[in-house]
Amino acid sequence: MISIRVSNPTILIVDDIAENLHLLTRELTDQGYETRGVLTGTMALTVARSTPIDLILLDIMLPDMDGYTVCELLKIDPATQTIPVIFLSALDEAIDKVKAFAVGGVDYITKPFKTVEIVARINTQLSLRQAQLKLQQFNQELEHQVEQRTSELAIANQLLQAEIQVRQQTEQDLRLSEMRYRLIADNMGDLVCLHSTDGQLLYVSPSIQTLLGYQSDKLLGKNLLDFCHPDDRQCIHIHFKEPLGSAESVTSCYRLRCQSGRYLWLETLAKPVINETGQVTGIVTSSRDVTRRVKIEKQLRYDSLHDALTHLPNRDWLAKRLELELLQCRRYKTSQFGLLMIDLDRFKAVNDSLGHLTGDKLLITVASLLKKCVRDIDMVSRWGGDEFVILLDKIVDIKEAIQVAERIKATLENPIEVDGKVIFTSASIGILMGNGTYQDSNEIFRDVDIALYRAKESGRNRYEVFGLEMYQAAIALLNLENDLRLAIQQQAFITHYQPIYSLKSKKLLGFEALVRWQHHNRGMIMPGSFIDLAEDTGLIKAIGGQVFRQVCEAIKVWESQYELDKDFRVSINVSGQQFRDVTFIDTLDQISKETGVKGHRLKLEITERILLEQSESIAHTLAAISNRGMQLSIDDFGTGYSSLRYLSQFAVQTLKIDRSFINQMRPQKQGIVQAIIDLAHNLEMDCIAEGVETEEQLTQLQQLGCEAAQGYLFSRPLPLEQTSQVLKNWHSQSAESFNPVAH
């Protein structure tokens, strides 16, 4: 770096003549310059290099080298090259001025010189040098500034470059992601749309073509509402309003019209598009075709409320309707409604004999007939099977319900033709008048069912109106059922035995086992009060099992104590329920095995009805019974269907003539009893007369050739202990009399 010295300039004087040197030194010192004086070129170079020198006065003629050479050397050396050199020469010396300038001199002065001239020339050169130095320094500074600016610019440039790169990357990323989104939106099966806040379509994905048949660009600027099903407009309106108010997405379902004119169900998710300032700028929706799902849902809804066969409302729907009815009744206290529960009589027989298909068609016909018997506001529903329930809306009098029941009864009494077959049917109907005092539909169904049960019980093809006493009776029955279950657990059944005698030999042939229920607080209950219920509830199987075991155990004891006749048998009553039970024979076998009682000691009493069923399993059971040496008798013969065909088919040994016939016997009126006895004999069976109470009856039966009899005349059914006593007496007396036990 070049420094400009402002204090006294230093002049180096180079002259080999000492006087010249002194003279110049003195004069220049006087002028205020600093001076150095040297006699040789070498010294001049040394001083110039080591000391700050502002100007050199250089003699040409020097002892060691000439002034040109010194000047050249000075100009080569960077440390000295800027020092101005003024050549000195004597007048007589021929100075080569051209050379002086060529080697870098700036001026020359010829000796002898005047001090004024020297000073003027020195000053000129010095100020020239000063100016040069300033210029140089200025240049340097300028250069430095330029350099600095340039590097600043370079950094700024680099930063800019980096930013540009980042921006380019971001832009590229954005383009890529937009491309991806568009690719997804364009190729999705779902329909993606962008809507302006006022509902105009701004973007529609191409999937609309496959979905609705429109070209996506043709829809731009249009409003979805224009394609919406008129019934769904409200929904779509709300659906577009809601996302505008919140950042949440909203789901909705509505129909849109296809190009073809038909409608598709779409499920749409709508989400607001929000800009940086939080403003909603549009709505983006994604929709999919849910037509199939909606259809299935509709079907399921329909199925859940309708009966598949008749398409009538089902039980659930009726229950719902009844709940509404109850609400109304509670609000308007006087409001009432009627309920009819209808059960077709003997529908099972139709199904069994004509097949299920015909049965189904009959039900469909009945359904439409029932609808014709009521008003439009009433509801006819099917409860499955052959049960229908009708709700009569807002009737004021039970008479109206009865009128409908009469109408139904009359309608169904007409024969119905199905598949060319004429079917006679009838119905049992339970009627109920309902009001707001009912808690719920279940209570109503319970009561109308009780009324129906009563109608069926009273002989079918009739109606019964529900009353409180019916409810009480039903409750009593329910309690009885509970007690019966408990009795089974506690084995509260005991068997009584009624002796059966031969009318010819007066011999004791055996006993009929008759069950009794030892009730915990009602005392002894007779079978007539609980056998029906036990059959209805299936509890008869358990009761029958207990009776069978008690009988076998008694026989076992008797066999060990008395020498029983080889024909001695105990008759056991078996109900249809038991007989149809697939485990029935197994139970008999099991108990026989456990007690060691053989089949020939037993006789089963069944009713005609069982044989009439003619099923394979019944035939199987009958065969199993005779295989085990057990006998069969037909109980209460003559009270039922008395179809003679079946009698010869099975191994039945005995017909039991029902007590009602014995009771009706008069000396000249023995027709039925006579007929039964003749029939039995023709079929090689014997007869037992039940309920023989008088000597006359006994005599008549003997005259008619009846083989055996039982009845109060001989003995009431007896508890085990007394029965054993009868046996004991019989054997000890071997009497000819019928009745060894006095009563």
**Which residues in this chain contact ligand C2E in the complex, by CB under 6 A?**
498, 513-515, 526-528, 531, 540, 544, 547, 573-575, 635-636, 659, 690-693, 710-712, 717
Minimum distance from residue 649 beta carbon to ligand C2E (Å): 23
Q: Which is nearer to ligand C2E, 197 or 739 (CB)?
A: 739
Concatenate the DSSP letters of all residues of 146-189 into one string: HHHHHHHHHHHHHHHHHHHHHHHHHHHHHHHHHHHHHHHHHH-S
Neighbours of 642 (CB within 10 A): 15
Site residues for Ca ion per CB under 5 A = 573, 605, 635-636, 690
Q: Which is nearer to ligand C2E, 361 or 496 (CB)?
A: 496
Minimum distance from residue 453 beta carbon to Ca ion (Å): 25
Q: Contact 685/653 with Cβ under 8 angstroms? A: yes
Q: Which is nearer to Ca ion, 223 or 653 (CB)?
A: 653
CA dist., res. 508 & res. 491, Å (int): 30
- 505 Cβ contact partners less than 8 Å away, ≥ 6 residues apart: none
Minimum distance from residue 636 beta carbon to ligand C2E (Å): 6
Residue with the two structure tokens 């070498």: 42
Residue 515, binding choice from Ca ion, ligand C2E, none, Cβ under 5 to 8 Å by partner class? ligand C2E
What are the residues facing 464 on neighbouring strands? 430
Largest separation between any pair of C-alpha atoms in the chain: 208
Minimum distance from residue 572 beta carbon to Ca ion (Å): 9
- 649 Cβ contact partners less than 8 Å away, ≥ 6 residues apart: 611
Q: Which is nearer to ligand C2E, 32 or 528 (CB)?
A: 528
Q: Which is nearer to ligand C2E, 514 or 680 (CB)?
A: 514
Minimum distance from residue 718 beta carbon to ligand C2E (Å): 10
Concatenate the DSSP letters of all residues of 657-722 into one string: EPHHHHHH-BTTB-HHHHHHHHHHHHTT-EEEE----SHHHHHHHHHHT--EE-STTT---B-HHH
Minimum distance from residue 541 beta carbon to Ca ion (Å): 18
H helices present in 506-568, as ranges: 531-537, 540-561
Minimum distance from residue 475 beta carbon to ligand C2E (Å): 24
Residue 75, binding choice from ligand C2E, Ca ion, none, Cβ under 5 to 8 Å by partner class? none
Residue 449, binding choice from Ca ion, ligand C2E, none, Cβ under 5 to 8 Å by partner class? none
Q: Which is nearer to Ca ion, 35 or 573 (CB)?
A: 573
CA dist., res. 342 & res. 392, Å (int): 13
Residue 181, binding choice from Ca ion, ligand C2E, none, Cβ under 5 to 8 Å by partner class? none
Angle at 350 between CA 349 and CA 354, to 5 degrees: 120
DSSP, collapsed to helix, strand or coil, labels residue 461 as coil
Residue 339, binding choice from Ca ion, ligand C2E, none, Cβ under 5 to 8 Å by partner class? none
CA dist., res. 129 & res. 123, Å (int): 9
Sign of the torsion formed by the C-alpha atoms of 190, 191, 197 and 203: positive
Residue with the two structure tokens 């019916």: 470
Residue 711, binding choice from ligand C2E, Ca ion, none, Cβ under 5 to 8 Å by partner class? ligand C2E
Residue 510, binding choice from ligand C2E, Ca ion, none, Cβ under 5 to 8 Å by partner class? none
Minimum distance from residue 430 beta carbon to ligand C2E (Å): 28
Angle at 454 between CA 452 and CA 457, to 5 degrees: 110
Q: Which is nearer to ligand C2E, 147 or 457 (CB)?
A: 457
Q: Which is nearer to ligand C2E, 544 or 638 (CB)?
A: 544
- Count the helix, strand and coil residues of the chain and give each as a percent rounded to the nearest 5: 50, 20, 30
Residue 526, binding choice from Ca ion, ligand C2E, none, Cβ under 5 to 8 Å by partner class? ligand C2E
Residue type, 151: S
Q: Which is nearer to ligand C2E, 199 or 576 (CB)?
A: 576
Minimum distance from residue 608 beta carbon to Ca ion (Å): 12
Q: Contact 449/390 with Cβ under 8 angstroms? A: no
Residue 498, binding choice from ligand C2E, Ca ion, none, Cβ under 5 to 8 Å by partner class? ligand C2E
Neighbours of 696 (CB within 10 A): 13
Minimum distance from residue 466 beta carbon to ligand C2E (Å): 30
Q: Beta-strand (E) ranges in 197-336?
A: 201-204, 250-257, 263-274, 280-289
CA dist., res. 309 & res. 388, Å (int): 13
Residue 183, binding choice from ligand C2E, Ca ion, none, Cβ under 5 to 8 Å by partner class? none
Minimum distance from residue 472 beta carbon to ligand C2E (Å): 25
Residue 575, binding choice from Ca ion, ligand C2E, none, Cβ under 5 to 8 Å by partner class? ligand C2E
CA dist., res. 499 & res. 571, Å (int): 10
Residue 341, binding choice from Ca ion, ligand C2E, none, Cβ under 5 to 8 Å by partner class? none
Angle at 189 between CA 185 and CA 192, to 5 degrees: 40
Q: Which is nearer to ligand C2E, 390 or 657 (CB)?
A: 657
Report the phi/psi class of residue 521: left, alpha or beta, with left for phi > 0 and alpha for psi in -120 to 50. alpha
DSSP, collapsed to helix, strand or coil, labels residue 447 as helix
Q: Which is nearer to ligand C2E, 428 or 573 (CB)?
A: 573
Q: Which is nearer to ligand C2E, 216 or 607 (CB)?
A: 607
Residue 104, binding choice from Ca ion, ligand C2E, none, Cβ under 5 to 8 Å by partner class? none
DSSP, collapsed to helix, strand or coil, labels residue 289 as strand
Q: Which is nearer to ligand C2E, 496 or 507 (CB)?
A: 496
Minimum distance from residue 534 beta carbon to ligand C2E (Å): 8
Query: Which tokens belong to 121?
Result: 């020339």
Minimum distance from residue 577 beta carbon to ligand C2E (Å): 8
